A and B are shown apart, each in its own frame.
Chain A
């Protein structure tokens, strides 16, 4: 069974079409949505988190239909969601906040709930601050609190909207570690505008741009799309869509290479840049 199955999902807010006939499947492992800010990643993730219903198209989560109230509660019992703007109650301590979410996740027995809260707090390395008020925490720590609450109840589906945004490099590494651990045996769908995060974490990616899925496949497949389109030169090539001077003094050019240049293996970022610069590229699967 496919954990997440989105078909032809379309959503408009007023006159803006946020999502335009998007298809996406996700199975156990980490699936990443890559795209610039405002591309529609958040809209798609909110659908997968049962918060938003598409105007057209279908969404199936864990084999159920989130549009039906009875099914939706069943999905939510097995869902963990870290929204982009988690909206903390700033007067709460870390423990109190996670405990509050645990109540909303229907954990009514105090003792077992507290044990579960302590478990996710330990998983995210927050023990030492569990009694601190959220308003006293740094942005990185707050992000961890958000991840902690998403892990409550060991959900089968984890939806993380920009989990690494605003983190310093060290925290990002720590977060990657936590997410990849979380991805063992469950389905994680996350979004990012950082190709490094996606490369490091995801077995499958969807590139979202202007409300459409421009690419869905493995990172290797996406990288492959840029094969033969990256070359080095002593100067910026006029044929390059984009080019920059690297640390060792040579220019890295991405685009349609002229004859006789030295081609080099592409990276995922090269492929992503190419995809973004070609607005009408066919949807690949």
Chain B
């Protein structure tokens, strides 16, 4: 920059901390602007110290930045590795959550406009969490696809972790949409047990087919059964007290089956695993 530089002796005294306050102040004012004088300083600094700090810096720079869901999970006592797996679940990324929220907002809005749509909301509600589970395992979105299939990490464990993460996010969205509906508040809760039953059934099916296909089968069956009944006004078929017990039994049964067979079944997380 300028032709003027600090002399060698001043730089040495400053670097070694023995410069007078006035010299130090003047040196610092100059150093901010002068690369050449800054370079001279490095010869007075312990190279091992520079190297040691660099190693720490590199480790912190390399390490994946913890996202807010990871920090939240860590606070809840979830292990760092598990939290990473959760955070990488495709459904938990913005666009997919927005899609789920958008569809439900639309359903809620339609229900305000017309009584019949109110009942249709119940039919649509479980599809949100179900779609979330499917997205979590869709081939093109899974961060590791094939690689993950050949990794020793338990397929069932990964399936449950991702499903739990998806439910933790989508269920509150659906619940909020349900509460926004006019009329009886039981509507806001009537879909919960059916959803649990459907999810557990889909999970149990993953020993036979990929999660995406399993969700498709379950969701298809659900719509085929409930949509005509709902349109015809027989809400009780899918949501009445008897039906609620049926869904509860389905959820418990599916869960119990997974628990009992966990060491012997092969979870098909991807095509032909």
Contact = CB atoms under 8 A, between A and B. Distances in A.
A77 interface: yes
B147 interface: yes
Nearest to A13: B272
A235 B150 CA distance: 52
B151 A105 contact: yes
A105 B273 contact: no
Contacts of A89: 88, 143-144
Contact of B62 (A49, A118, A159): A118
A103 B147 contact: no
A99 B64 CA distance: 8
B84 to A, nearest CB: 6
A146 B146 CA distance: 11
A87 B84 contact: no
A101 interface: yes
Contacts of A93: 64
A113 B68 CA distance: 22
What is the predominant secondary structure among interface residues of chain B facing chain A? loop
Contacts of A99: 63-64, 84
A70 interface: yes
Interface of A: 46, 49-53, 69-70, 72-73, 76-77, 79, 81-83, 85-89, 92-93, 95-97, 99-101, 103-108, 110, 113-114, 117-118, 130-131, 146, 149, 159
B153 A103 contact: yes
Q: Which 7 pairs show the lowest CB-CB distances between chains A and B?
A: A89-B143, A87-B145, A83-B146, A104-B151, A76-B152, A81-B150, A104-B153
Contacts of B264: 69
B265 interface: yes
Nearest to B149: A51
Nearest to B83: A103
A51 B146 contact: yes
A52 B143 contact: no
B152 A49 contact: no
Nearest to B153: A104
Interface in B80-106: 80-81, 84-85, 88
B79 interface: yes
Contacts of A53: 272
A127 to B, nearest CB: 9
Contact of B143 (A70, A77, A100, A146): A100
A110 B142 contact: no
